[in-house]
Amino acid sequence: MELIPAIDLIDGRCVRLTQGDYNEKKVYEQDPLDMAKSYADCGIRRLHVVDLDGAKAKAPCNLAVLERLASQTDLDIEWGGGIKSSESIKAVLDAGANRAICGSVAVDNRELFAEWLQEYGTAHVILGADIRDGLVATHGWLKNSGVAIEELIEGFLPAGLTQVICTDISKDGMLQGPNFDLYVALQQKYKQVDFTLSGGISSMDDIARAKELGLHSVIIGKAIYEGRITLNNIKEWLQNE
């Protein structure tokens, strides 16, 4: 079980949204680099970063923050938000991300996303599938695509898709626990794909439950900022693992 702390960015600052609503934004005072270093000190290896400005602007907006994180830590950084063109994915990877998370483009331009899987390798390109009422939401969760996640995944298996981050928007930021049934069903159906659970992690008990269910990785966001999961909790878990 891999624990992946999340940092969401607006104007270079750490924020958290509730159910993807930009109007329900809470700004935290921690500097993103300080947060990243504190996670690395606990033994975390992988960091999930979302450029919320980029998601709205349809192009990465916080690459200066990415460059700081990549140059001053050894973390494996997965970066999402606004990656909709060949120029943008190249810019994100050149700025220091090891993995690019692509959501809207995988719905709107499937041929291009399939090309990226082959050009950059499946180890470096992640399908970001954000789900609302069983359908994929795009453009910073503002648009309902009408596409089911199964249809999306199956379309990219021939191109070698191996990584999917799936977020249940109804659970995101609510601190009420994840939709475990969704992730278990997906992992069992597509065994060749590594699914990361995102949305709803509220406690270490949720993480233990995810491990019991055979899930491989979880993203932790608001629970850390709100003190539901502490850095000591994370450190102890990793030491016991």
- Enzyme catalytic residues: 8, 130
Containing H/E element for 181?
helix 180-189
CA within 13 Å, CB half, 167: 27
Q: How far is CA 234 from CA 18, 63, 74, 218, 221, in A?
A: 23, 27, 18, 12, 13
Residues with Cβ within 8 Å of residue 36, at least 6 apart in sequence: 7, 47, 69, 73, 75
Q: What angle do CA 139, 215, 153 make, to 5 degrees?
A: 40
How far apart, in whole angstroms, are the C-alpha atoms of residue 174 and residue 140?
Answer: 18
The pair of structure tokens assigned to 214 is: 């055979």
CA within 13 Å, CB half, 155: 17
